Amino acid sequence: MAYPHNDCIGVTVHNKSTGDIWIGFDLGTQSVRAVAVSPAGDVLGQSSHPLTSQRHGLRHEQEAPEEWWRAVVNVSRATVAELPASSIRGLAVDGTSGTVLLVDRSGKALTPGLMYDDLRAQNEARHANEAGGAVWASLGYRMQPSWALPKLLWLLNEYRSVIPGARLAHQNDFINRRFAGHEVPSDSSNALKTGYDLLRESWPHEVLDAMGVPDQIMPVVVRPGTQLGTVCAEAAEMTGIPAGTPIIAGMTDGCAAQIAAGALEVGSWNSVLGTTLVLKGVTRELIRDPAGVMYSHRSPDGNWLPGGASSTGAAVLAKQFPGRDLDALSEQAAEREPASIIAYPLVSRGERFPFVAPNAEGFVLGDPSDQVDLYAALLQGVAFIERLCFDYLDMLGVPIGGDLSFTGGAAHNHYWCQLRADILARPVRLLENAEPALGMAVLAASVGRRICDVAKEMERVRAVIDPRPQRFTRFREPYIRLVDELARRGWLQSAVVEHAKRRAGLE
């Protein structure tokens, strides 16, 4: 099993319905997914189509953003093929957070899409923090090289000839425009990493001016859940979704997964473990992070959604064990608690959360006794970073005691879920369906209603995993060894180390 994603093209139709239908689209790293659901959360149709991208050192891009639309057309037609078109009530689209490109006035791509974890904009991030540090501090973060604004600055410098008439587009903006057939606003969730001020709900024009960003490049921004327009005739013919269907402003993929998991009450959290690890929670007030590694989106209901995205994740398994039966390896890994080595399993160079270290690289302390030992260490290493994220959040005073859900491809690995629950020392919920595409369907259905109420109606809990008694004590020593090693390499602050040790019962 490949835990990050299933890249197979396919469609499943579980039920034909004449009731209301909402459609959600998820623009991921490895695939585009679509799901059609009923008001009760029944999956009526779903499909996926693979995407390709290129990595070169610090760079990660999709050279032909047009591929996103072709994939959307494919999954859309497959998803709605056996559904009554007259019952489709709306759609919403998510995108990977921080993925941007420049488009012309007709919506045609002028540049590649710079992906969510592209780190080429190191100098531009420093420039953005110098110019807008006060604004970013008021929102509780600092600009990171992987964020959209530094990458926009890089694009403007690299593609100067296209600037006249160009527009910034986030990944889902590109698709929403195709659905509508005309320029549409962006959503404030995707605009956050481009510098949008969620407190004032406006672009910080004085900062953008200081950085040489032309006003006309920046899109109009609205809150998630706002209707952007309706599906145009051309898009209807291509996708099978009826003309006139409302297009609802979406969110980032991490927020979409959080909605699907029903983690919308204060103190509740969703941990998405797929290609990488993403944590999203809920607070009533904005939490400001002095180190700038955590940031907060704004929920459609007005609450704040703090969290962060690590560069560790399940993709490291596919890289280290291509073609292997990961379920079988997981069964064997259950006998290696703890592994004889310590692993910090980065998917790509650079870490984003729970600390920022653009030059960080994955490492292994010690020599594995065999391949199972290495595999077990990788599973444990991701779980250790997940715990460190919660230690960091707790240090900031963020409420973390509510329900915790595990979603993402790795949620299908029962042993890894049990291991993570043991290391976190808390129960976790597993959902029947918590795909980001479902979250977008929930958002589309929430117009005029509280999103948390709609999410509860559509949510299906398939299991609750309790931590095994005293199991964390087995992992305390290797966890602290990893924490100390991250600090020794200059990546982790001493205050975080001390707090992690206190929560582990060592101080």
Fold exhibited by the domain 262-503: Nucleotidyltransferase; domain 5 (3.30.420)
Tokens of 372: 């199972």
Instruction: Kindly tell me if the per-residue pLDDT of 292 is higher than 90.
Output: no
- Percent of the chain having pLDDT more than 90? 84
Q: Are 306 and 399 in contact (CB under 8 A)?
A: no
Instruction: Kindly tell me if the per-residue pLDDT of 339 is higher than 50.
Output: yes
pLDDT tens digits, residue range 1-19? 444 443 334 554 444 445 9
pLDDT tens digits, residue range 147-171? 999 999 999 999 988 888 899 999 9
Give the pLDDT confidence score for residue 1 in this predicted structure. Answer: 41
Check residue 286 and report its DSSP letter.
P
Give the pLDDT confidence score for residue 69 in this predicted structure. Answer: 97
User: What is the pLDDT of the chain when averaged over all its residues?
Assistant: 93
Could you give the C-alpha distances from 125 to 119, 146, 186, 252, 312, in angstroms and in order?
A: 10, 8, 22, 21, 22
Helix 494-503 / helix 371-395 crossing angle, nearest 10 deg: 100
Check residue 185 and report its DSSP letter.
P
Cα Rg of the chain (Å, integer):
22
Give the pLDDT confidence score for residue 28 in this predicted structure. Answer: 87
Give the pLDDT confidence score for residue 59 in this predicted structure. Answer: 93
Give the pLDDT confidence score for residue 17 in this predicted structure. Answer: 46
Instruction: Kindly tell me if the per-residue pLDDT of 257 is higher than 50.
Output: yes
- Percent of the chain having pLDDT more than 70? 96
pLDDT tens digits, residue range 92-135? 999 999 999 999 999 999 999 999 989 999 999 999 999 999 99
Mean pLDDT (whole number) for 217-228? 97
d(CA 11, CA 49): 10
Could you give the C-alpha distances from 112 to 62, 100, 219, in angstroms and in order?
A: 6, 8, 18
CATH of domain 10-250: 3.30.420.40
Secondary structure E strands in 265-380: 269-273, 277-281, 295-298, 304-310, 342-344, 363-365
Give the pLDDT confidence score for residue 64 in this predicted structure. Answer: 87
- Among 172, 135, 167, which residue's Cα sits nearest to residue 152? 167
Is the four-CA dihedral 398, 344, 325, 338 of positive or negative sign?
negative
Tokens 């969620």 sit on residue: 198
d(CA 19, CA 445): 13
Give the pLDDT confidence score for residue 301 in this predicted structure. Answer: 87
Give the pLDDT confidence score for residue 210 in this predicted structure. Answer: 96
Tokens of 96: 């990977």
- Among 336, 322, 93, which residue's Cα sits nearest to residue 228? 93
Give the pLDDT confidence score for residue 18 in this predicted structure. Answer: 53
Enumerate the CATH 3.30.420.40 domain ranges in the chain, comma separated. Answer: 10-250, 262-503
Give the pLDDT confidence score for residue 165 in this predicted structure. Answer: 87
- Among 418, 414, 341, which residue's Cα sits nearest to residue 372? 341
Mean pLDDT (whole number) for 244-263? 94
Give the pLDDT confidence score for residue 259 in this predicted structure. Answer: 94
pTM score, whole prediction? 0.84
Instruction: Kindly tell me if the per-residue pLDDT of 370 is higher than 60.
Output: yes
d(CA 203, CA 240): 36
pLDDT tens digits, residue range 63-72? 889 999 999 9
What is the residue-wise DSSP string for 69-125?
HHHHHHHHHHHHTTS-GGGEEEEEEEB-TT-EEEE-TTS-BSSPEEPTT----HHHH
- Across 465-498, b (16+ Cβ under 10 Å) vs e yields bebeeeebeebeebbbebbeebbeeebbbeebbe
pLDDT tens digits, residue range 431-442? 988 889 999 999
